[in-house]
């Protein structure tokens, strides 16, 4: 609770130019990983000083990470078509269910918990929802297209595609603001 009054005091006492520079730095910093190698190498100097990271990740790893963060459901749909059958999903769900049941059955024998904690652990275990493999809608191409409606990507425009994806995600977040969380 004390954070916001302190933040307001700092913002009010900081010159506007400093605040603008701070905000722009965060825009630049969040965009560096999408820029060509010379920019990423320059940023690596700071990253090395702060985090100890000494090398840039390989391009394939960077691209997969960026693609998955934006197009996770689409890339997952391709994966499950080839490698994750409905039977695999069912078996995994059954396994998780059995693990939960074993956890709950074992609670009475856990000596370091008092009865109140044991009951709370049981309630918590029962309340956990399973999300195994993928949401079923991604197997339906039309529903998947509907989910990504408004997101446009173009070949050979990596940086521009990233900004389009950010705008798309922001619009989606704003549209969903105030609604119950989609678990």
Tell me, what's the pLDDT at 70? 78
Residue 56 has pLDDT above 90, yes or no: no
- Indicate left, alpha or beta for 178 from its phi (over 0: left) and psi (-120 to 50: alpha): left
Does the CA dihedral 39-41-42-43 come out positive or negative?
A: positive
Rounded to the nearest integer, the mean pLDDT of the chain is 90
Winning range, highest mean pLDDT, from 28-32, 68-72, 95-99, 127-131: 95-99
Tell me, what's the pLDDT at 135? 87
Distance CA 124, CA 113 (A): 14
Residue 69 has pLDDT above 90, yes or no: no
CB-based burial label for 138 (10 Å; 0-12, 13-18, 19+): buried
> What DSSP designation does 130 have?
P
The answer to whether the CB of 151 falls within 8 A of the CB of 165 is yes
> What pLDDT digit, counting tens, does each position of 36-46 carry?
889 999 999 98
Helix (H, G, I), strand (E, B) or coil at 73: helix
Quote the pTM value.
0.63
**Dihedral, 49, 50, 55, 61 alpha carbons, nearest 10:** -160
Tell me, what's the pLDDT at 57? 87
């Amino acid at each position: 609770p004390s954070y916001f009054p302190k933040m307001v005091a700092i913002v009010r006492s900081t010159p506007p130019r400093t605040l603008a520079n701070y905000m722009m730095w965060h825009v630049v910093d969040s965009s560096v990983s999408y820029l060509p190698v010379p920019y990423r190498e320059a940023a690596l100097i700071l990253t090395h000083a702060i985090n100890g990271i000494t090398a840039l990740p390989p391009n394939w790893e960077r691209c997969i990470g960026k693609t998955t963060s934006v197009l996770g459901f689409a890339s997952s749909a391709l994966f499950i078509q080839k490698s994750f059958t409905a039977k695999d999903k069912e078996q995994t769900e059954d396994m998780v269910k059995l693990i939960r049941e074993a956890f709950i059955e074992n609670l009475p024998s856990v000596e370091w918990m008092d009865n109140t904690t044991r009951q709370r652990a049981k309630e918590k275990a029962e309340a956990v929802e399973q999300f195994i493999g993928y949401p079923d809608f991604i197997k339906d191409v039309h529903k998947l297209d509907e989910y990504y409606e408004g997101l446009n990507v173009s070949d050979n425009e990596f940086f521009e595609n990233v900004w389009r994806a950010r705008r798309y995600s922001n619009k989606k977040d704003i549209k969903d603001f105030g609604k119950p969380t989609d678990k």
